[in-house]
Structure 1
Amino acid sequence: MHALRECIPQLFEVGAKKLYLVHIVDITATDIEAVELMKIDEEELNRIAEEIRAKGIDVEPMVKIGIPSLEIAEIAQENNVDLVLVPSKGENILRQMLLGSTASNLVRATKKPVLLVKYEWDEEEEKIKCLSNCREIFKRPIVALDFSECSEKVLNVVKKFEELIEEITLIHVVDYGRAEELEKNIENAKAKLEEFSRLFKAPVKSEVLAGIASRSILGSALARDSSIIVMGKKGRSVIKDLLLGSTAERVVRDSKLPVLLVPCE
């Protein structure tokens, strides 16, 4: 509800055009008659939609019965959405992912970019708070590139919101090769990032680091006061990657910044 009332309107201030407001009655988790529950949820979602519509936002509410991640992925595909936004609770995300939460299952299932906006509980205020200003999410992206075919898809997504960008940081982490190849690999990476930087009109900084990719990305994002981390996610192997501790999973788990995951399929 905080995301709907605070974050979503801010995204419309910077150019969003239409909101698909989706609620799925989880057919695997409800003991109540699903159709009856659907009617109740439709009434509630329509009420919320009216509240958002009053702010001048074009909103289309949808309630369906099914498996949430699959239904949301299908709706995103059918309506050719640009972005799936998922509010995410900070500290518990690893546990949620390993238990197969809707958010992680959705990231695996959808072919659309997924924006995870981080929230946490404010002990002093005794209320939930967003860790970002959604109006400024796209201003200072740090874009992690691994030079695979996926990198081109990641850059194409960043190009879509280039007009909102004040400065871009392109980052590559050398976590491969033998020790004696390190200097050469770093120089090659710098040359590739320089080539990628020419794709943008906005100011671009590039950084090549050596070490553990997730730590380097998170550290650089913090040092540069980035507003969002953008990176690719590898299709359906994500659960295996999660269990093995992939770069994407670690960044999603540990980042307090929003993370935009771009599908690489």
Structure 2
Amino acid sequence: MKALCATDLSAASEATIENETCLECLGRIGVEEIHLVTVIPSNVHVGMPGMDFEKRREEALSRYRQVIEDAGFDVETHVVRGTPHRRITGIAETIGASMTIVGSRGKSPLENRVIGSTARNLARTTVTPLLVNRVEREADDPDVVRQHLFQRMLYATDFSENADRAFEAFSYLRHATDEATLVHVDTPKDPGLPEDQEPADRLRELAGRLEDWGIETRTDVRTGDPADEILAAETEYDPTTILVGSRGHSRLRRLLLGSVSEDIVARADGNVLLVPPERTA
């Protein structure tokens, strides 16, 4: 597997890249090659006095590269210019990445959960599963919020095709997952199950698949606002990562992030793994 790790060379990005436990988790799910990507925004001009942005970023990436190579990965680096989320998405597609990783600060001074514009735009346009790796906000030397990326998973499903696609990520996550919580929130807008099947029964079927892989699994059917209930489940069960699918394409073939997924990506305390729909020809 190949993973693309997007960095703006900030302290938050450094925390994501240099955490040994996070790197070990990526190795356990089958990542062998990591592409480090940093984008110089289009509005930063090459000719600005005293600024050699490409050279400075290449030097910074070389330090990160050494850390990741020492952890046993093959590494490629990319310093490119353009709109960050578009270039990152384009490179991920070109190299055939199985996952894109971006660091994001956690709680804001106003006690709201926030993610940066690049992380939000990646969530809306990604063509690969996107791991938003939460990093401490109020720290001069921040660390990741959850050391183990995939040890305790919370999978949220509405039983849609996109949610089923997200569940299939367990085919590789299982190598780093010890326990999982499967959550469904009953709402009138559910895609629906066959009339003879209850949500609790369907969750138990999914749980059985994970338990066959040796993953300790619980199920939880809730009622209420989906995003609020999923985030309440995060508070109750303390997962390392929430796994969720996103919804559909617009006429412009751009991924539109569903409101529930967007709320979870923006407001979760810990990491979020967002799986987009399969691309159509």
Q: 1:166 aligns with which of 168, 178, 198?
A: 178
How far is 1:37 from its partner?
2.9
How far is 1:217 from its partner?
0.9
CA distance in 1, matches of 2:234, 2:173: 19
What letter corresponds to residue 138 of structure 1 in structure 2?
F
Contact 2:125 2:256 in 1 (8 A): no
CA distance in 1, matches of 2:162, 2:27: 30
Gaps in structure 1 of 5+ consecutive residues: 178-184
Classify the secondary structure of the residue corresponding to 1:132. coil
Is 1:60–2:70 an aligned residue pair? no
What's the counterpart of residue 9 of structure 1? 23
How far is 1:208 from its partner?
0.6
Classify the secondary structure of the residue corresponding to 1:164. coil
What's the counterpart of residue 200 of structure 2? 190
CA distance in 2, matches of 1:205, 1:95: 29
Judged with a 3 Å threshold, the aligned counterparts in structure 2 of structure 1 residues 111 and 175 are, in CA distance, closer, same or farther, namely: same
What's the counterpart of residue 264 of structure 2? 251
Contact 1:173 1:216 in 2 (8 A): yes
1:110-189 mapped onto 2 (5 Å cutoff): 110-122=126-138, 126-133=140-147, 136-176=148-188, 188-189=198-199
What's the counterpart of residue 234 of structure 1? 247
What letter corresponds to residue 35 of structure 2 in structure 1?
Y
CA distance in 1, matches of 2:218, 2:100: 28
What's the counterpart of residue 234 of structure 2? 221
Deviates more, 1:140-149 or 1:163-172: 163-172
Classify the secondary structure of the residue corresponding to 1:81. coil
Gaps in structure 2 of 5+ consecutive residues: 1-13, 190-194
How far is 1:23 from its partner?
0.8
CA distance in 2, matches of 1:235, 1:60: 31
Q: 1:18 aligns with which of 26, 33, 39?
A: 33
CA distance in 1, matches of 2:228, 2:185: 10
CA distance in 1, matches of 2:267, 2:182: 20
How far is 1:58 from its partner?
1.9
CA distance in 2, matches of 1:159, 1:240: 25
How far is 1:48 from its partner?
3.0
Classify the secondary structure of the residue corresponding to 1:127. coil
Is 1:42–2:61 an aligned residue pair? no
What's the counterpart of residue 95 of structure 2? 79
Judged with a 3 Å threshold, the aligned counterparts in structure 2 of structure 1 residues 71 and 39 are, in CA distance, closer, same or farther, namely: same
Classify the secondary structure of the residue corresponding to 1:121. coil
What's the counterpart of residue 182 of structure 1? none
Classify the secondary structure of the residue corresponding to 2:169. helix
Is 1:209–2:222 an aligned residue pair? yes
Deviations along 1:135-154, whole A, 9 cap, x unmatched? x2212211000111112201
What's the counterpart of residue 5 of structure 2? none
Contact 1:169 1:204 in 2 (8 A): yes
Contact 2:34 2:74 in 1 (8 A): yes
Judged with a 3 Å threshold, the aligned counterparts in structure 2 of structure 1 residues 153 and 249 are, in CA distance, closer, same or farther, namely: same
Classify the secondary structure of the residue corresponding to 2:188. coil
Number of aligned residue pairs:
248
What letter corresponds to residue 28 of structure 2 in structure 1?
V
Identity %: 26
How far is 1:241 from its partner?
5.8
Judged with a 3 Å threshold, the aligned counterparts in structure 2 of structure 1 residues 167 and 12 are, in CA distance, closer, same or farther, namely: closer
Length-normalised TM-score, structure 2: 0.77
Contact 1:12 1:57 in 2 (8 A): no
What letter corresponds to residue 102 of structure 1 in structure 2?
T
Contact 1:142 1:230 in 2 (8 A): yes
